[in-house]
A and B are shown apart, each in its own frame.
Chain A
Amino acid sequence: MKRKDSDFDLVRVLLSKSYEKLRSEGMVTITDEALKEIGFDKFESSNIERENLLTFLNGTITESDQGVAVRVTEAFPGTRRTARLLSTAGVKSARIPEIEHPRQDGIVRAHLPRRAEQLATLFFTKHLRENVLGDLEEEFETIIVPKFGVRFGRRWYWFQVVRSIWAVMGASLLKLGLIAWLGRVASWLLNKTSI
């Protein structure tokens, strides 16, 4: 179920309430009390071992039918935040654009090329997408950008996404090609025997 704009406001409240802690730790857990204040029944914040984690790509939050767990991650400090709603039923997320907060630590984190991420979504299964994009983002943030810079990092990310799509789709395309070729051979044999 797609939620209304007002639901985004709830997440904005979560973000603003937790900002100081979030900024110092990179990730923060909201307390039960804080969550109840803004209308959620229940949440969990750790030991999340779910099979159905979804990648966020746009600003939609989907209702969960079980207790809701909330984790807020400052993915792009200063310019963009990511809010995640986790539940036993699944994970649905929302991107919260442009929340103004002063930058005090002086660290500028790079933006991932979101179009590359969206492209990956078209080709990868939910399960694969979570793993591949998570690993790429980690490598981008912790190794590539610090070592080679943002510009190279963004190109690297695109290249890795395209390579990964090829690796995933290549095998399927080869199978399809083989089936098509076998079909042609079978058809040729049938024609030959019928003459």
Chain B
Amino acid sequence: MGQNDTLGEFEHLVSVAIMRLRNNAYGMMIRTEIHKRADRDVSIGAVYTTLERLEQKGLVSSRVGEPTPERGGRAKRYYKLTASGVKTLKASRGALTRMWKGLRIAEA
């Protein structure tokens, strides 16, 4: 299995957030989604570093949207999973599911 076929934990979270947000997946929304669902307060820099890495791996693609006033005239960059990204995400989830199958964690 090559490096492109695996996802780190944070890459996994970012990929799922992109999938959830569909057409509205840009940095701030991805960060908010991860905070809301995974209870992880991550920096926007960490999100973009991961997005750049995923893009280099060919797992996500991006497009630049319209500049908006509330962003000081800057444009949003929207991300979406590529076919390869979806496949990798499924494989990553499958691996986790298989690892957890039949396993119980005793309550402390």
Check A53 against B75 for contact (C-beta < 8 Å). Answer: yes
Asked whether A160 lies within 8 Å of B43 as measured between CB atoms, the reply is yes
- Taking chain B's interface residues, is the majority helix, strand, or loop, or is none over half, making it mixed? mixed
Residue-wise, chain A 46-67 has the 8 Å CB interface mask toward B (1 for contact) of 1111110101100000000000
Contact B74 A133 (CB under 8 A): yes
What is the total number of residues of chain A having a CB less than 8 Å from a CB of chain B?
41
Is A99 an interface residue when CB atoms closer than 8 A count as contact?
no
Other-chain contact of A164, B26, B43, B64 (Cβ < 8 Å)? B43
B45 interface residue per 8 A CB criterion: yes
**Are the CB atoms of B72 and A165 closer together than 8 Å?**
no
- Residue from B27, B48, B69, B75 whose CB has the most chain A CB atoms within 10 Å: B69
Whether B45 pairs with A164 at a CB distance below 8 angstroms is yes
Interchain CA distance A130-B44 in the complex, whole Å? 12
Contact A55–B74 (Cβ < 8 Å) = yes
Chain B residues packing against A (C-beta within 8 Å)? 26-28, 31, 42-46, 48-49, 52, 63-77
